[in-house]
Structure 1
Amino acid sequence: MERGNTKHGPVLDEQMKSETRGTIQGTVGGRAEEWKMPEPAGEDQPEVTVAPGGAYGRGVPAGVGSPKGEAFSRFGTYIGLSALPGDRAALEQSARVLEAPDDVMRRLALLPEGTVYENVAQVWDASEGSTA
């Protein structure tokens, strides 16, 4: 049994459905009024550029989707924010809790003892080349 609106007829229901289709389906460019379109960045906005060495500092690979960028992202998922700032022991403990794979644990085990790392980028930079 189809439940329709009892206050309108089928023709008016179809017309109302087509009027709201863009809002319900969220079509690309579905904004009806020009004044609702977002403005482009102004002249006073800085251009975003990525240095060849990385996006956030030395050793951090640029570009999500690149092999090094994906490796960095995967590595960072196994280091909890509560472990930072921290030394090798704190980072290894955090990685164990987050069930890091062996390659991440090997990379952390090769970090120098006694060095405190402020962020994942510093850990990545210090462990670069340690293990793949």
Structure 2
Amino acid sequence: MQRGSDRLSRHRDDEMKHELQGLLRSGHPTRSEEWNDPEPTADDDPQVWGGPVVPGDEGASLEGVRLELARILGRTSFPAGPVELVRVLRRQNAPDALTEAVAGLPRKEHYANVQELARALTGTEGTP
């Protein structure tokens, strides 16, 4: 008999294993209620599952770079120049490739928001 600080009883543990048995065997959700299943990704969703989005990579679109920067930097980092943004990226443990890309921007530039920074990193032009 196991003695420990388990939150669940042995009977509840066996019950949970039985509930997951269908999922483990089939490899897909086996619930009868479709609303309870996770929603699949859409075709136009940005690609974030393949690792960090890095400007200059093949699959790095403006939207993907903007999403990654917004996730890491937030709103409080702006307006700022590359030096301040690199400092925040390092503090937030951002991927090295993204930090190096921001560090390679001209030091005299200032960016008002994530959109301007993403445009500068991807080299795309557009209306502000």
TM-score (norm 1): 0.45
Task: Answer 1 or 2: higher relative contact order, Cα 8 Å, separation at least 6.
Answer: 2
Tell me which structure has the larger Cα radius of gyration: 1
TM-score (norm 2): 0.46
